[in-house]
Every structure is written in C-alpha cells, then in structure tokens.
Amino acid sequence: MRWGQRQRFAFLEKRLYWEGVLGRSDLMEHFGISAPQATADVARYTELAPGNVEFDRRRKAFIDLDTFIPRFFEPSARNYLTQLLLQADHAAPSHEAWLGNEPAFDAIPRVRRRMDTDVLRPVVNAIHQARQVEIYYQSMTQPLPGWRSVAPHALIYDGARWHARCWCYKRSRFADFVLARMLAVREAGSSSIDPQLDAAWTHRFTMKLAPHPDLSEGQQRAIEMDFGMIDGRIGIEMRLCLTGYFERHYGLDIPRELLPVWRRQVILENREELMAIRAEFGESAEAA
C-alpha cells in the first residue's frame, strides 16, 4: 500500500471514529484528490475493513457501524484533545488538522512568549552540527544584555517557555538559556563539547507524587483519578534538568504551609532525594 493511500485511510478512520460520519468531499478537500479517487479509496477501504462502514443514503455519507474497529490509526484521547489545543493556539492551519465537526470548546489564552525564527534557526543548526554560537542575551542577573558564547545541544520546554540547553563557556557548566531572551545569534565555530557530559541531561529522576495529606478522603480520591495514581502514588520520570520546572509548574517548590490546600493538591514525597542528587550534579533549578 502506498504511503498516501495509508494516510487517507487513517484520516477516514479518524473521522468515523470521532464523528461517526464521513463524506466523500471530506477526502477530496483534505487531500486535494478527485471524486473518482475518493470513491475508489472508500471502496478499497471497505474491502480491507469489512464491517466498519456503510453508506447512509439518507445522509448521503458514510457512517461507522457498531462493529467498527480502527485498523490504520490508534485512537488516543490525548491526540484528539491536542488537536483542539492546536486550533485554539493557532499553532497549525485548520486544513492540516483531521478534525471536521469540532465540538464546542475553548481554552485559556496562552501568554505568547517572544519567539524569533532568526534566533531559533541558528540554535537548531548549532545543535545538529555540534557548533558553538554567540548569543546576545538578557539574563536575570544583569541590567543590560551581553554576548555569551554557548554550545547548544538540546531544546527544552518547561510548560511555558522554550530553552536551549547549552554549555556556557563563561561559567564552564551546562545551563538553560531562554530562547525569548536571545536578542541575536551569530556563528562562533565548531564545538568539542560532548553532550553526554551533561549529567543533569543524561541522568533521569522519578518524581514521586501523592495527594496532599490535608485533603479529605474524597478529595484525595479525586486527585488520584486526575493524576492516574495507583494506591495513592505515581512516579513521573524525567531528566534531572527538568525537575525544577516541574516543581514550579505544580507549586511543589513552595512550602506546604504557605499555600492553601486547594492550591497545593499534590506533594513531592522524595524531595530530600531530589535535593541530594541536584547537589551531587551541581544542577540549578533556575534558567540562566
């Protein structure tokens, strides 16, 4: 089967699975194919997946049957909801989404961080080519921006901002640099820095979460369901350099007594272990 046809079959199944109906025009508009090609695709699909779809003469469209079993895509609630978020954030053109009849939905607006393609592109190229760059950077510790020599080896998203994970020649250590604070980037030659030396990047740590003990039994049970906990616990593995961002995202870095319980619904059970490993690797929980 050709790749293009497989993509059309997957689109067909997604529409049928989530919306229960598919018109021949849906295939034509999404893939820019002819009416005979769309008809041939549906006919071929019904041969490969009997019992999945039938033509409804009243609606003049194809509908899913009770025996429908997807064969060309794996249903995912996360994927479906992510498609909705991409539309809400205007992060992808609507014609690229496989959604058709979207349900009514909305999302809190994202604070749009400054993002410059003239900054991102050379950083990405430096990662691919193992090169160092000079960035004109506004740090939190200096009143004015200045040039810094860095060797980026990865990108990091902290839930709100994008960072470049870099070797900082000024401080002789690995650190995160916020992309939005890079005002300019220029080439600076090849880099001999081995990313595997970034222990906080290569070392993984499991954050062990549990419901806040001051919550009622019913509230704790609700939190367990929210986080998919088993026996009131869940372990979330991540790179060590991401743990500080994870803490801030869930308010785990603020002492429990300083937040009302409804604002601090989970606790980090292995904080002492985390702090010991950070000290061992010399990892800071702050961006540069």
Taking every pair of Cα atoms in the chain, the longest distance, rounded to a whole number of angstroms, is: 71
Q: What is the rounded (10 degree) CA torsion for 16, 21, 26, 28?
A: 80
- pTM metric for this prediction: 0.80
Q: What is the pLDDT of residue 102?
A: 77
pLDDT tens digits, residue range 113-150? 778 899 999 999 999 999 999 999 999 888 999 999 99
What pLDDT is recorded for position 164? Answer: 97
pLDDT tens for residues 76-125? 999 888 888 887 777 766 666 778 777 888 888 777 777 889 999 999 99
Residues 6+ apart with CB under 8 A from 210: 229, 232, 233, 234, 266, 267, 269
d(CA 110, CA 41): 39
User: Residue 253's pLDDT is what?
Assistant: 86
Whether 240 shows a pLDDT value over 90: the answer reads yes
Both tokens of 155, joined, read 């990108």
Residues near 24 by beta carbon (within 8 Å), at least 6 away in sequence? 35, 38, 39, 42, 61, 62
Which one, of 192, 201, 225, lies nearest residue 211 by Cα? 225
Between 282 and 4, the higher pLDDT residue = 4
Q: Please give the Cα distance from 241 to 162 (Å, whole number).
A: 13
pLDDT in tens, 163-219: 999 999 999 999 999 999 999 999 888 899 999 999 999 999 999 999 999 999 999
